[in-house]
Amino acid sequence: MAYQPTNDCMICERIRWIKEGKNPYFVRELSTGYVVIGDHQRFRGYSLFLCKQHAQELHFLEPEFRARFLYEMSVVAEAVYRAFQPDKLNYELLGVGRGLHMHWHIFPRREGDMPVPGPVWLLGDALFSEEFLPSPKELEDLKEQLNAQLEKLLA
């Protein structure tokens, strides 16, 4: 299940940082992917699940890996739900870079968390404002809370 690193795939690059112990957002490795906290926390608890394979679509994955990837994503989502207690989770499977390496975005949503109800992307660049970068302490708290719930669910 080795991924194919490419110089211009942001997800492969993030995974490489995890393997080198240099990704401060890394929470936990599962069999099909890596759990990380989102860089920007406009939606507190925003987390991602990065597919271990540099693949574009779910149906490009081997059936067994695909089923496990989907199941593990649902476990990650449940851990996000338990850790951050949103009203609802938003799930999105997006791609980025060459080959569009798929990765799940999991957003905890809360009543009234947008100026106008709708998907988070309506915020545009405001989603990535520096004011939403967690402090080192906040980041450690987020990782610890999420990992504690993953620990329970995976036990």
Would you count residue 73 as binding Zn ion (CB under 5 A)? no
H or E element at residue 97:
none
Residue with token string 């957003």: 107
| 1 within 8 A of 31, measured Cβ to Cβ | no
d(C-alpha 1, C-alpha 88), whole Å: 33
For Zn ion, which residue of 18, 43, 50, 54 counts as binding (CB under 5 A)? 54
Taking CB under 5 A as the rule, does residue 9 contact Zn ion?
yes
Least Å distance between CB 125 and Zn ion?
24
Q: Where in 96-155 is the site for Zn ion (CB under 5 A)?
A: 101
Give CA–CA dist 80/100, Å, rounded: 24
- Nearer to Zn ion by C-beta: 93 or 123? 93
- The binding site for Zn ion (CB under 5 A) comprises 9, 11-12, 54, 101
